[in-house]
Amino acid sequence: MRVPNRSLRWLAALAMLALIAAGCGGGEDPAEGGGEASGGASEPTSEAGSEAAEGSGGEFSVYIGEPESLFPQNTNETNGAEVLNALFSGLVDYDVETAQPMLADESPRAMAESIESDDQQTWTITIVDGWTFHDGTPVTAQSYVDAWNFAAYGPNAQGNSYFFDNIEGSAELKCAENQLDAEGLCKPNAEPAAEEMSGLEVIDDTTFEVTLTAPFSQFPLTVGYTAFYPLPEVAIEDPDAYNEAPVGNGPFMMDGEWQHNQQINVVRYPDYAGEPAQADAVEFRIYAEPDTAYNDLLAGDLDILEDVPAAQIESARAEFGEAFLEGESSSFTYIGFPLYEDAFEDANLRRAFSMAIDREAITRTIRTDAVPADAMVSPVVAGYREGACGEACTFDPEMAQQLYDEAGGYDGELTLWFNTGGDHEAWMEAVSNQLRENLGIESIRFRSLDFAEYLGLLDNEEVTGPFRLGWVMDYPSPQNYLEPIHASNGSSNNTGYSNEEFDELVAEGNAAGSIEEGLDAYARAEDVLIEDLPIIPMFFGRVAGAHSERVQGVTIDAFTRLNTADVTVTE
């Protein structure tokens, strides 16, 4: 998931995620599960609805930025996902401490009883019977199939449509083969050849089958993401109206419509079939800047801030004590190279840039909400290898200068690109100073743009120099840090990197017999990536949040999302 960065778009033998919640720390669990996830959950009872009607009461406020969308299949940034996490329950829930997917027998907020496959390509999903949307209509297998077809259908232009590209028949929902241009893209005004994917089949009200274009061992990890949420009929009938007041299947329901640039209010859904929310209501208060939100938190006018500004972290730690939340997040900040520019063709030049940057100094003095990145894959997922990046991510100005000279240096003015509104100026300034001092690049300038415009230039290959981007995992797998960003046809490949060996190794991991069996191939793909170095790994983010004395049970997971339903109001 590439993100505009709110201070930052899954380990036994494999170290897993460690998260710190209010007053407690996460640990390490064995990586369990295989090519299938299965379990047996009892059907929801009336007692669950009764508990939901009671809860512990009260309401609290949470900081968010203005979302880009509240339509699940179109939401791929953290602000909108925060709200949708309260409004929806996914097929799987993710364990706060391990980030492993949990089925309904492990989490009362998961909708899938089982997700099973014999060949990693055809998956049978069975959901718990008896759940309803907030409008009272039942959540059925058809609700998922309709939602996924809606997302994949080209004319609907959903931002998460690419999550369904590996389902049989998805290509026909883009446009017909005779309407493709020379580059294999749909021509303007092209009409799709179909409206439904052939790889989706409803078996009965609680069962549907998903046939992929190729085996994908990581599939059970993916389906808790927003793109895979179910939709009621009203969403498809009027998507624009639905975006302003989404009807979900989760512990909270909308209270009125989205008040743009002001707030989004939700209240407890009394007929929720899962474990009920504790509070009566939540106000997602929309701020333009985290600094303003932090001041409100200090003044007692805001209850939860998940992203304490980096400059305030030390003072916040002292100010809030046990109410200051720290831990690992899945966020990953990197500097990408526009490989379509001849100036960055030499891997030695790219390695020189990386080794000329002192990440330790930057995280110690500026990015105190992060730690130096030493791999292409985050520490919070199974398959992370400490120090995998090796010397390429080690500060060594002498070797950097040698590699720089061997590559012939860089001619002309160097432009560093980044988006506004994310506190990037200070650390990018530090990077530029280190490049001047350690490589002798004298002429360096900045291009800082609004995130939407910035992404547009990246997507159109109009960025001419090293550029900053951030990534928060969509699902807890190393594949999510490799394929979308670096595969030749990756959905978020903004460098233009293409390596056949890398693509084949990722495909090998995808086709493995289980989640764990795929990790070795992903590791070898990461090694290829490190050798080529199309990006400079910069930082792994950390959770740095705080809350008022009015609330307890505040936890922030590796997706950087607040577990809204578990928050208890104490006043």
pLDDT over threshold 70, residue 80: yes
β-partners of residue 124 are 116, 209
Tell if the pTM clears 0.85, that is, is over it: no
The confidence band for 8, taking pLDDT boundaries of 50, 70 and 90, is very low
| CATH 3.10.105.10 assigned to 328-542 | yes
pLDDT for 77: 85
pLDDT digits (tens, 9 = 90+) for 496-524: 999 999 999 999 999 998 889 999 999 99
pLDDT over threshold 60, residue 30: no
pLDDT for 451: 80
pLDDT digits (tens, 9 = 90+) for 465-491: 999 999 989 899 999 999 999 999 998
Over residues 541-558, mean pLDDT: 93
pLDDT for 19: 32
Range with the poorest average pLDDT among 27-31, 73-77, 179-183, 186-190:
27-31
Of the candidates 408, 415, 419, the one whose C-alpha atom is nearest the C-alpha of residue 465 is 415
Contact 160, 151 (CB under 8 A): yes
For residue 61, give the DSSP letter.
Answer: E
Of the candidates 379, 393, 384, the one whose C-alpha atom is nearest the C-alpha of residue 523 is 384
pLDDT digits (tens, 9 = 90+) for 312-340: 999 999 999 999 999 888 999 999 999 99
Token couple for 357 = 């940057």
330-367: b or e for each residue (b if 16 or more CB lie within 10 Å)?
bbbbbbbbbbeeebbebbebbbbbbbbbbbeebbeebb
The confidence band for 26, taking pLDDT boundaries of 50, 70 and 90, is very low
pLDDT for 308: 92
Distance CA(286)–CA(204), nearest Å, equals: 41
pLDDT above 70: percentage of residues in the chain:
88
The confidence band for 310, taking pLDDT boundaries of 50, 70 and 90, is confident
Classify residue 23 as left (phi > 0), alpha (psi -120 to 50) or beta.
Answer: left
Over residues 73-89, mean pLDDT: 94
pLDDT digits (tens, 9 = 90+) for 270-282: 999 999 999 999 9
The confidence band for 16, taking pLDDT boundaries of 50, 70 and 90, is very low
pLDDT digits (tens, 9 = 90+) for 214-255: 999 999 999 999 999 999 999 999 999 999 999 999 999 999
- Decide which of 35 and 251 is more confident: 251
Range with the poorest average pLDDT among 244-258, 269-283, 359-373, 410-424:
410-424
Distance CA(271)–CA(381), nearest Å, equals: 35
pLDDT for 56: 76
- Decide which of 451 and 43 is more confident: 451
First CA to last CA distance, the chain? 36
pLDDT over threshold 90, residue 4: no
Half-sphere exposure of 323 (CA within 13 A, CB side): 17
Range with the poorest average pLDDT among 120-129, 172-181, 298-307:
172-181
